[in-house]
Amino acid sequence: MPQFDLYPNPNPESRKWAPIIVDLQHDMLSTLATRLMAPLVVSKPSGQPAIQRLNPVVSVEGQKYFLSTAEMASVPVRELSEPCGNLSAYRDDLMAAVDFLFTAV
């Protein structure tokens, strides 16, 4: 399972506001039964998220989303369907957001 692959959100309760989740876990750990995922939240036309470094904005098929880094969660692999995209192009921004969450640097 490649790092930064996108999946439809399997959780019906959060799917409305976060239709896509992104895999943040490194490929080397793909044998684990879970993946560390973060939701992509639909970006409002009114502007950027409050903490841009923590919540980088990405574009998926022309739609803007922000990574809700603080809402990362472990998701069982069995709940994931086929990937629907990949955010490798945003690698530096995504990893900086994770680093900021854990180190505030």
* Burial grade of 86 (CB within 10 A; 0-12, 13-18, 19 or more): middle
What domains can be seen in the chain, in order of their start residue? Answer: 5-103 (2.30.30.110)
Global pTM reads 0.92
> How far is residue 96's CA from residue 91's CA, in Å, rounded to a whole number?
8
Tell me how far CA of residue 12 lies from CA of 8, 9, 53, 97, in angstroms.
10, 8, 28, 26
Q: 58-67, pLDDT tens digit by residue?
A: 999 999 999 9
Grouping H, G, I as helix, E, B as strand and the rest as coil, residue 73 is strand
- Per-residue tens of pLDDT for the chain, all 105 residues: 899 999 999 999 999 999 999 999 999 999 999 999 999 998 776 666 678 899 999 999 999 999 999 999 999 999 999 999 999 999 999 999 999 999 998
